[in-house]
């Protein structure tokens, strides 16, 4: 595939020079949803699918981008002299934002480049195609411009910084971190309050991770993502009138129950309850997984979905239909929405010999109820962003 992409690059941008190749994966979060920006824990893993970038430095200050996923846009041109968000620049705001973020942190990119991208993550599916583009750009910029002291963790932070400040989406650190730091066959148990992390081997024996994509399109910017974040911040401020805490992630369920009346609205109480309980569920989930109790892990995944549906209200009919039907299938250990919600994907752990029936039955129930098809992917856990 990479050789073909090299050929495609040459066709678009011409031959010659030092053409380099990079890759960054997509990610799926197993549990710990909407906890990252609440100072809690997450448990995502990188996938083997992701974004390929073929890049060559230029002698001038132009940046020329071409994505095989958005062929109709053709080559989109930008300039190092005009690094500001531009709606018309479409997806290229992600790589341009990363170049801008490097500059903000003192790493000045002084020459332009040509970049061809190809992603085999479904776009806008909730598997973080945008964070994947950010990280692959970060890896490319570090390599092309010799910013050798920039670590993979720095690349994750630069990606998040660019998404927050260039693209205007207040995302947490989970996606960029999982994509930059991923490790084959491992999930990352990340404490988002201080970025300490450990790798946890995912041994599912006779089961696999199955992703169902709802095909309901969404963008984080126009979703209620920023609104949920603001609700949690307000709930935290209300709790802080009495409690000495820095984030919702510091609370146990018992502490929350004893103090929840400080939060002045029923809706915000439910938002905060989700953030607190989901964090505690994530801690338990990692514990039971390490003890080899995959059944219990699955139950915690299911409870996570219920909380995201009823208390955090970020699921919607598409994700609920996929998950509620999944729960009824033979061989399903656990199933929940994954990512921001409002559309996107679900993640299920399914016994290998039940996967075909799972896809058929859930697929049919979804089509009948929603009126268009879902897509299913049996995925493998892969490594983080890298030079190829
Ligand atoms: C999106 C954001 C992440 C995280 C999840 C929800 O994927 O980019 O930072 O908040 O939603 O868990």
Does any ligand 1 atom lie closer than 6 A to the CB of residue 134?
Answer: no
What are the C-alpha distances in Å from 40 to residues 167, 191, 236, 237, 278? 24, 6, 13, 16, 9
Does any ligand 1 atom lie closer than 6 A to the CB of residue 340?
Answer: yes
- So what's the pLDDT on residue 218? 63
- So what's the pLDDT on residue 275? 98
d(CA 320, CA 366): 10
- Nearest residue (CA) to ligand 1, atom 9: 172
What are the C-alpha distances in Å from 154 to residues 16, 107, 172, 173? 31, 12, 14, 11
Does any ligand 1 atom lie closer than 6 A to the CB of residue 33?
Answer: yes
3-state DSSP assignment of residue 368: helix
3-state DSSP assignment of residue 179: helix
Q: Which of 175, 191, 311, 383 is catalytic?
A: 175
Substitution candidate for ligand 1 out of 30, 129, 175 with most atoms within 8 A of CB? 175
Does any ligand 1 atom lie closer than 6 A to the CB of residue 22?
Answer: no
Burial of 289 (0-12, 13-18, 19+ CB in 10 A): buried
Substitution candidate for ligand 1 out of 29, 124, 172 with most atoms within 8 A of CB? 172
- So what's the pLDDT on residue 125? 76
Nearest to 30 by CA among 214, 288, 220, 362: 288
Substitution candidate for ligand 1 out of 32, 45, 130, 174 with most atoms within 8 A of CB? 174
The whole model's pTM is what?
Answer: 0.96
Phi, psi of 8 (to 5 degrees): -60, -40
- So what's the pLDDT on residue 296? 97
* pLDDT (tens place) for every residue of the chain, 388 residues total: 899 999 999 999 999 999 999 999 999 999 999 999 999 999 999 999 999 999 999 999 999 999 999 999 999 999 999 999 999 999 999 999 999 999 999 999 999 999 999 999 876 678 999 999 999 999 999 999 999 999 999 999 999 999 999 999 889 999 999 999 999 999 999 999 999 999 999 988 899 999 999 998 765 545 688 899 999 999 999 999 999 999 999 999 999 999 999 999 999 999 999 999 999 999 999 999 999 999 999 999 999 999 999 999 999 999 999 999 999 999 999 999 999 998 999 999 999 999 999 999 999 999 999 999 999 999 999 999 999 9
Residues whose CB falls within 8 Å of the CB of residue 20, separated by 6 or more in sequence, listed in order: 54, 55, 56, 140, 143, 144, 387
122: DSSP letter? P
Q: Which atom of ligand 1 is nearest to the CA of 128?
A: 7
d(CA 128, CA 117): 15
- The Å distance, Cα 227 to ligand 1 centre, comes to 13
- Nearest residue (CA) to ligand 1, atom 2: 171
- So what's the pLDDT on residue 124? 66
- So what's the pLDDT on residue 90? 95
Q: Is 185 a catalytic residue?
A: no
Phi, psi of 32 (to 5 degrees): 100, 65
């Amino acid at each position: 595939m990479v050789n073909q992409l090299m050929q495609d690059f040459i066709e678009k941008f011409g031959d010659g020079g030092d053409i380099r190749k990079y890759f960054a994966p997509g990610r799926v979060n197993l549990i710990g949803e909407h906890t990252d920006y609440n100072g809690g824990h997450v448990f995502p893993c990188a996938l083997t699918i992701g974004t390929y970038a073929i890049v060559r430095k230029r002698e001038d200050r132009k940046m020329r981008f071409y994505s095989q996923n958005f062929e109709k846009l053709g080559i989109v041109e930008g300039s190092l002299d005009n690094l500001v968000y531009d709606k018309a620049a479409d997806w290229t705001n992600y790589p341009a934002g990363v170049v801008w973020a490097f500059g903000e942190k003192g790493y000045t990119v002084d020459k332009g480049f040509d970049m061809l991208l190809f992603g085999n993550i479904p776009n806008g599916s909730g598997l973080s195609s945008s964070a994947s583009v950010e990280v692959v750009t970060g890896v490319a910029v570090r390599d092309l411009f010799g910013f050798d002291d920039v670590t993979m963790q720095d690349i994750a932070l630069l990606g998040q910084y660019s998404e927050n400040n260039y693209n205007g989406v207040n995302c947490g650190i989970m996606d960029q971190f999982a994509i930059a730091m991923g490790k084959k066959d491992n999930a990352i148990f990340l404490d988002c309050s201080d970025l300490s992390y450990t790798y946890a081997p995912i041994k599912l024996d006779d089961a696999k991770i199955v992703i169902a994509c709802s095909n309901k399109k969404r963008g984080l910017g126009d979703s209620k993502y920023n609104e949920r974040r603001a609700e949690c911040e307000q709930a935290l401020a209300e709790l802080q009138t009495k409690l000495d805490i820095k984030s919702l992630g510091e609370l146990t369920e018992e502490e929350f129950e004893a103090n929840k009346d400080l939060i002045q609205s029923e809706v915000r109480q439910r938002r905060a309850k989700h953030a607190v309980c989901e964090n505690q569920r994530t801690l338990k989930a990692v514990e039971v997984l390490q003890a080899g109790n995959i059944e219990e892990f699955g139950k915690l995944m299911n409870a996570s979905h219920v909380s995201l549906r009823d208390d955090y209200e970020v699921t919607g009919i598409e994700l609920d239909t996929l998950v509620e039907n999944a729960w009824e299938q033979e061989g399903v250990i656990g199933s929940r929405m994954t990512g921001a919600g409002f559309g996107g994907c679900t993640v299920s752990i399914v016994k290998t010999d039940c996967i075909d029936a799972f896809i058929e039955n859930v697929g049919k129930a979804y089509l009948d109820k929603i009126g268009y098809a879902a897509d299913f992917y049996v995925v493998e856990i892969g490594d983080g962003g890298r030079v190829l």
